[in-house]
Amino acid sequence: MIILGLSGAVSHDPSAALFVDGELVAAAEEERFIRDKHARDKMAYEATRYCLDVAGIGPGDVDAVAFPYAKIGLGSPARWHYARRYWYAPDRALTALVNGNRRYRRNVRRVRQLLDDLQIGFDRVRFFPVEHHLAHVSSAYHLSGFEDKCAVVSIDGKGEYATTFFGYAEKGKIYKVKEFYDPDSLGGFYGALTEYLGFEMLDGEFKVMGMAPYGDPERYDFSRLISYNERDFHVNTRLVNVIGPRRYKEGGRGYYFSPELVRWLGPKRQGDDIDDPYIDYAAATQKLLEDVALKLINHYLGDVIRETGRICYAGGVALNVKLNQKIIELDGVKELFVQPAASDAGTAVGAASYAAVALGEKVRPLRHVYLGPAYSDEECIEACRQHKRRPLWEVLDDPAETAARLLAEGNPVAWFQGRMEFGPRALGNRSILGDPSHPGIAERINAQIKYRERWRPFCPSILDRAAADILQTDHPAPFMTFAFRVSEAWKDRVPEVVHEDGTARAQVVSRDTNPRYYRLIEELEKLRGIPVVLNTSLNRRGEPMVCSPTDALNMFFGSDLEYLIMENIFVRKHE
């Protein structure tokens, strides 16, 4: 059976995913094709075309289409909760009660248009609208490979109305234990503080997390932002996650925090430097997120966790690797599986996997996320020939050896090979690499290539045989979704990938899922004695990750990169 999943239900991060007989064979974000980060208010046209094309499937072969947004009836507590908590914006409150499925109807119209435009045919296929948080949870549980009972969690900004989902799963079925509804949203709270700290929501949450270790979380008391206990929490909508008349406005733009927050904490942060008191605000924000989430998880799922030892987790907040580190440390946790495209892009996978199970399919576990387009040497050469900057290029006999030699000499290298990654993390196929033992390589990449804040950390890709020694754990970490404390013996050996708090957001690389990347790291180990490479995504600040050879060349010539390897093609600049 062929099942297409689509995302983009809440106006950002549209993507497409394709299951064939229970196997995820393709998935990609629309932003990568149209070069518009987060592809706001778009639908996944190019991503869908790609998925069908790479699988060799015609539009008429699709059996079912799933979408991560469903009707919410008036009998649900969700709409009433929303209306009561947003009483200060009566137009929104009344709309929730009398016309609460308007976004659902709009989404169905947009899906219908896409399917008809691409000749799949909305009326021909079976259509599965899946509740947003069920899609998130399904994306983690049904692809985790866990056979026995496990806890399931989803935390994000919001879907239809829900913001947080706690439950358990067993024998292919997902059971809801507790949901929380907007505006009581940990993702919404964190996003509002992200804006206050000077970053873009949906993109800057990683920066807040990265800034937090530079500050003191005890210096400022943020408890007034969220009132909580082990059973419940309420976001203070006089301060954060606000709408309509309560929004702080600056330069004609409204933000998700209020003027009252600014009167309390001072002006909204500007610029790229990490400075007082904002580093302490970031630290306090991160700590509050962790405190609330851990209390709720322990209360609603503690018994399941202690019984089973396993958790499946998705939603935008699941990309907060510091929180994930604390979840792994909870009593009874043996393994935490975070779906690597945990944000809304991954709901295409979740909706499709949920539909697959409903139709009697057995979904196969996720082994890797190399699910996007790949390009041949000939296509890379043609892109070089067509590019207006006329790059120098040559065919290499051993790209891994050449890349390792350049890295060992202290050079950053753009590394483009195989199928593009699905999700926000570069995992060795669309990456900028560096030697983490070379002092200053991280600052050079930040300042001259990525053009991002100089204090932003970088991640290590580590050979699987060395990971337990470096990270002091054998917990699976193939997708760069966890932070781990780096052992003292390794901190001085790979300082460029150790963050301010002594942790690293690591990718453990296995030979069977990425043999070419594995060999590159082995070659660097021969030269420098370290089974680790610094890895960051192949893009500049504000841009989507590179997809095609032309994208890679544009990024190459738009930065101070000197070396680009695309498949077996070595690219340099004339100067």
Complete domains list, the chain, with CATH: 2-143+342-358 (3.30.420.40), 186-337 (3.30.420.40), 377-572 (3.90.870.20)
| Contact between residue 227 and residue 234 where contact means Cβ atoms under 8 Å apart | yes
Q: List the structure tokens of 383.
A: 């892109």
Phi, psi of 253 (to 5 degrees): -115, 140
Q: Where on the phi/psi map is residue 32: left (φ > 0), alpha (ψ -120 to 50), or beta?
A: alpha
What is the residue whose two structure tokens read 């239900």?
9
Segment 305-320, tens digit of pLDDT: 999 999 999 999 999 9
Segment 437-453, tens digit of pLDDT: 999 999 999 988 988 88
List, by residue number, the catalytic residues. Answer: 12
Q: How far apart are alpha carbons 175 and 134 in whole angstroms?
A: 10
The secondary structure of residue 241, as a DSSP letter, is: S
Greatest CA span in the chain, whole angstroms?
68
Strand partners, 162: 181
Strand partners, 152: 167, 312
What residue ranges in 157-213 does DSSP mark as E strands? 162-170, 173-181
Strand partners, 522: none
Average model confidence (pLDDT) across the chain: 97
- Helices (H), ranges, 90-149: 90-98, 102-117, 132-144
| Contact between residue 273 and residue 200 where contact means Cβ atoms under 8 Å apart | no
Among 326, 372, 506, 535, CA closest to 445: 535
Q: What is the pLDDT along the chain (575 residues), one digit of tens a residue?
A: 999 999 999 999 999 999 999 999 999 999 999 999 999 999 999 999 999 999 999 999 999 999 999 999 999 999 999 999 999 999 999 999 999 999 999 999 999 999 999 999 999 999 999 999 999 999 999 999 998 999 999 999 999 999 999 999 999 999 999 999 999 999 999 999 999 999 999 989 999 999 999 999 999 999 999 999 999 999 999 999 999 999 999 999 999 999 999 999 999 999 888 889 999 999 999 999 999 999 999 999 999 999 999 999 999 999 999 999 999 999 999 999 999 999 999 999 999 999 999 999 999 999 999 999 999 999 999 999 999 999 999 999 999 999 999 999 999 999 999 999 999 999 999 999 999 999 999 999 998 898 888 788 899 999 999 999 999 999 999 999 999 999 999 999 999 999 999 999 999 999 999 999 999 999 999 999 999 999 999 999 999 999 999 999 999 999 999 999 999 999 999 86
Q: How far apart are alpha carbons 297 and 178 in whole angstroms?
A: 10
Among 29, 21, 13, CA closest to 372: 29
Q: List the structure tokens of 90.
A: 């009566």
Q: Are strands 126-129 and 64-67 parallel, antiparallel or unpaired?
A: parallel
* Residue 101: strand, helix, or coil: coil
Among 200, 479, 498, 526, CA closest to 341: 479
Q: List the structure tokens of 267.
A: 């002006």
Radius of gyration (Cα) for the chain, nearest Å? 23
Strand partners, 100: none
